[in-house]
């Protein structure tokens, strides 16, 4: 009959997670990928595993899998391709020619139970091909090209495919090679086998066996294992000299005062500290990297506009602002009456509720450069979480 091997696909770019490598996100004390691999370690029928990782991560995954995670069945870690389909084929080609049955699983399905591995393998042994799947619970609508319902599908016969999917090794290898010859693309391996005219057996899976694709999937997985959503923190600090002939702009509010802050942009010291805190939490450097004072494009620029740009950077990376706490340090003028407007401006620029933004003002009791009225400073702390993101046109 030959060996039973598993191909664990973990080579995606995590575009729908905002570029966050979901395979290494912590989940109940273990990384996501470790949990997926350990399910196969615990499945008695599986003899060896090949992991398909991003090209630059193969060495790291190999060391972690065989060392820290204790995955004795991992015999190879190979680089993936441009698509999931190419990555699976790379994994298949790394298997021993003596492989009889192969199981393909998404590394981003970390809550798989070993019993389900055995169940799908048993059916594949009999039918040649099988996939875990769960019945559709909700009414399913097919959309037309304009976002309207084209028709309602009968859900009684509809199932949602999961992994693992199990096949006779020779059958799946033939299906992938034929697909490559014909330019056929599919979102799972069962579809390629179906294209050969071979039946695929449905095996009842589990709704817990979710795939982490979007940030909210990760939150659901955390809830299932009793985990906590990680939060990233950043700290920002900025200082500017007070000079004559400049408006005093703080938090996007022009405050009446004889002096203003000196700088390349509008020198809004509060927003500069906030931006640095946000960029720091996201691991994106500081405002000098993105808006250098040597670039004439930013001469006199509104810091509120710059803050909006930072907000867009965070969104593109999959982050959302949890909260901001900032402190202005100035001996004069009195700023308490302007703080609500500052908080509102920051929240609006970032597209968050104003309750997530807190601004304070303090003096230094006449001490230091701020106390002597030579300048102003600001401190800020920001917390970021992962943004919930789902698109009407996105595929799973």
| Residue 237 CA from chain centroid, whole number | 28
Question: pLDDT (tens digit, 9 = 90+) per residue, 277-312?
Answer: 999 999 999 999 999 989 898 998 999 999 999 999
Separation between Cα atoms, residue 113 and residue 98, nearest integer Å: 26
pLDDT of residue 28: 82
How confident is the model over 13-25, as a mean pLDDT? 68
Residue 366 pLDDT > 60:
yes
| pTM for this predicted structure | 0.66
pLDDT at position 14 is 61
pLDDT at 387: 53
CB 116 within 8 A of CB 205: yes
pLDDT band for 360, please (50, 70, 90 cuts).
very high
Whose CA is closest to 78, among 87, 67, 69?
A: 87
Residue 13 has pLDDT above 80, yes or no: no
**Average pLDDT in the 358-369 region?**
96
* pLDDT at residue 394 in the model: 31
Sign of the C-alpha dihedral computed for residues 363, 369, 373 and 377 taken in this order: negative
Which domains, ranges and CATH numbers included, belong to the chain? 3-225 (3.90.550.10), 232-386 (3.30.1330.50)
């Amino acid at each position: 009959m030959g060996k039973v091997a598993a191909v664990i696909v973990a080579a995606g770019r995590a575009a729908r997670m905002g570029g966050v490598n979901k395979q290494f996100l912590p989940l109940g004390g273990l990384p996501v990928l470790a949990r997926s691999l350990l399910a196969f370690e615990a499945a008695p029928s599986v003899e060896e595993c090949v992991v398909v990782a991003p090209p630059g991560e193969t060495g790291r995954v190999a060391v972690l899998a065989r060392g820290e995670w204790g995955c004795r069945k991992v015999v190879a870690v190979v680089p993936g391709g441009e698509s999931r389909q190419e990555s699976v084929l790379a994994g298949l080609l790394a298997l021993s020619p003596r492989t009889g049955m192969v199981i393909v699983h998404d590394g981003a399905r970390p809550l798989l139970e070993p019993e389900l591995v055995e169940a799908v393998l048993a059916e594949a042994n009999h039918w040649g091909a099988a996939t875990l799947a769960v019945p559709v619970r909700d009414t399913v609508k097919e959309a037309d090209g304009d976002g309207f319902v084209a028709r309602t599908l009968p859900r009684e016969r509809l199932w949602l495919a999961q992994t693992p999917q199990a096949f006779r090794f020779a059958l799946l290898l033939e299906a992938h090679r034929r697909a490559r010859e014909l330019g056929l693309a599919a979102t799972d391996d069962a579809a390629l086998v179906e294209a050969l005219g071979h039946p695929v057996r449905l095996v009842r899976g589990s709704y817990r066996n979710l795939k982490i694709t979007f940030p909210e999937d990760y939150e659901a997985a955390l809830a299932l294992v009793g985990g906590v959503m990680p939060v990233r923190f950043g700290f920002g600090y900025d200082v500017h000299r007070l000079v004559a002939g400049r408006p005093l702009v703080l938090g996007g509010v022009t405050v009446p005062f004889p002096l203003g802050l000196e700088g390349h942009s509008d020198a809004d010291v509060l927003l500069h500290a906030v931006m640095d805190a946000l960029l720091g939490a996201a691991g994106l450097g500081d405002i000098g990297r993105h808006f250098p004072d040597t670039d004439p494009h930013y001469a006199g620029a509104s810091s509120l506009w710059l803050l909006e740009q930072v907000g867009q950077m965070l969104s593109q990376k999959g982050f959302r602002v949890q909260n901001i706490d900032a402190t202005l340090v100035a001996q004069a003028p009195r700023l308490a009456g302007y703080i609500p407007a500052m908080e509102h401006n920051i929240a609006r620029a970032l597209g968050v509720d104003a309750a997530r933004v807190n601004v304070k003002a303090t003096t230094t009791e006449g001490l230091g450069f701020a106390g002597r009225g030579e300048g102003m400073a600001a401190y800020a702390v920001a917390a970021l979480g992962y943004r919930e993101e789902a698109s009407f046109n996105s595929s799973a």
